[in-house]
Structure 1
């Protein structure tokens, strides 16, 4: 190699290095967390689909988790999916996930077949309004025995549906359920599905309620968590008696929120933190104030994570 070629090659190399460093720098600028409002948090005020979205936007959220039943009611009132998508975009929001209750994992073949058809219809609808994900909890299988290998096969079929629709199924842990109530359960199903697109939908409260706790969150693996349900729980009632309605604002309970956030953060990527509460005391308050307070308390803790 002559001197001119060597200089040219060196310059090209330096240029590539500069690009790589710039890309790495840009990645490091991505926020660790983005904030979403699950509409359960203000469901008790019975505002309706559109008003709930407006509250989320006014409170300062950039993302939401919608409930499929609420969306369907809104559409039955004469609104179209296309109009809904425009309305969401005009509010400056994205729909990061949807909450539905199709019985995709039950042992009853007829119910499961009907539920898979339901899931297909719901995922097609969610795609039209711009929703990226759908929750897949163990609805219908909270009692009795469930073979986890069979559950993995059923979840794998949902993942295939997700590839075709562009709406990604999130395997949800329910702490009060007999099945898919622990971190080990959902981890097994995700891995046994054999699909690298498997994702988990976890929750501060449900990890506590199901007995998994939060110490092993770091074992989950960074790709498996894209969205995480945020809340907190008080010291009383005890774990065996605590229920959904006992959840409180993040930081107002005894959960190790900082450790949770440290465990799920993904430098270079952004995890969506979605506030999900069912607290009747909050339902009696002004919805906008509840949403603002919930966002403020989440950010106060998340901003400390580096």
Structure 2
């Protein structure tokens, strides 16, 4: 499997060029690029500059993220942002657009009807994305798309081979996704995996801010890795953490700690 760093892990106000440099130094294989980081760097870096810096560092542009599926939206803001992200992804050479959905089922609407609406929305996104893949991200404890079964259902309804799912160790833990559901994910539909750990708190209390570096918390990561191996997954393991403690650290330190903890965990599991 290949290592990847999600720019979110370094913080929301960090310079993209500094994150790229740190990922190069630490030896990551790829990066997920938050559209906000790209926008922040726009006054300093063109998309071609970003592509070149990634290439010079031996880094793949793994995804551009993150976009709200917003299946029941009444305005065009989410779709407009997705369109912009799709254009950026093609320019920077990223094969995946990470798309989440935390929407509840609207009052008075059946789950089947809600999934149908979400499928049509995802189909529209797929049309906009063109050749770029869309990885649907279930959000922990979300009502409509809280796990891979619903995400795969929505992907199926699009009729597009370019719409699949992703796995996030934190969100799958929050939703208590059964092993059987993970093992039902077709390998060709599992586009990327986020790896992160978590503080030891009751599941109902856990939030994104409680994520930690791999191997430092209580998530069943060894078991998750075994499931991925059973699926035959050999793609990117991307470190995505929303921890303010890390965001206050120097970029180089956050990136180095993410890589060393990931390498230590993977190395332990390979023995």
- TM bin, normalised by shorter chain, reads 0.7 to 0.9
Q: Structure 2-normalised TM-score? A: 0.87
The unaligned stretches of length 5 or more in structure 2 are none
The unaligned stretches of length 5 or more in structure 1 are 1-32
**Structure 2 residue 26 is the aligned partner of structure 1 residue 59:** yes
Report what 1:288 is aligned to. 252
Q: Secondary structure at the match of 1:199?
A: strand
The Cα of 1:174 is off from its aligned counterpart by 0.9
Asked whether the equivalents of residues 208 and 214 of structure 1 are also in contact (C-alpha less than 8 Å), the reply is no
Q: Secondary structure at the match of 2:101?
A: coil
Asked whether the equivalents of residues 11 and 247 of structure 2 are also in contact (C-alpha less than 8 Å), the reply is yes
**Structure 2 residue 134 is the aligned partner of structure 1 residue 169:** yes
Asked whether the equivalents of residues 152 and 189 of structure 1 are also in contact (C-alpha less than 8 Å), the reply is yes
Q: 1:248 aligns with which of 212, 234, 237?
A: 212
Q: Secondary structure at the match of 2:203?
A: coil
**Structure 2 residue 5 is the aligned partner of structure 1 residue 42:** no
Measured at CA, do residues 179 and 268 of structure 1 come closer, stay the same or move farther in structure 2, by a change above 3 Å? closer
Q: Secondary structure at the match of 1:134?
A: strand
**Structure 2 residue 52 is the aligned partner of structure 1 residue 90:** no
Asked whether the equivalents of residues 99 and 134 of structure 1 are also in contact (C-alpha less than 8 Å), the reply is yes
Superposition pairs of residues 183-194 of structure 1, within 5 angstroms: 183-194=148-159
Asked whether the equivalents of residues 143 and 179 of structure 1 are also in contact (C-alpha less than 8 Å), the reply is yes
CA distance in 2, matches of 1:104, 1:65: 18
Q: 2:36 aligns with which of 56, 69, 76?
A: 69
Q: 1:279 aligns with which of 204, 222, 243?
A: 243
Number of paired residues?
Answer: 265
The Cα of 1:296 is off from its aligned counterpart by 2.1
The Cα of 1:156 is off from its aligned counterpart by 2.0
Report what 1:300 is aligned to. 264
Q: Secondary structure at the match of 1:263?
A: helix
Asked whether the equivalents of residues 195 and 239 of structure 2 are also in contact (C-alpha less than 8 Å), the reply is yes
CA distance in 2, matches of 1:150, 1:267: 30
CA distance in 2, matches of 1:182, 1:266: 19
Calculate the aligned-residue CA RMSD, in Å: 2.4
Q: Secondary structure at the match of 1:196?
A: coil
Asked whether the equivalents of residues 5 and 31 of structure 2 are also in contact (C-alpha less than 8 Å), the reply is yes
CA distance in 2, matches of 1:234, 1:240: 12
Report what 2:46 is aligned to. 80
CA distance in 2, matches of 1:185, 1:219: 12
Report what 1:28 is aligned to. none
The Cα of 1:51 is off from its aligned counterpart by 0.9
Report what 2:147 is aligned to. 182
Superposition pairs of residues 112-191 of structure 1, within 5 angstroms: 113-138=76-101, 141=103, 144=106, 147-162=114-129, 164=130, 166-191=131-156
The Cα of 1:74 is off from its aligned counterpart by 1.2
- Point out the structure with max Rg over C-alpha: 1
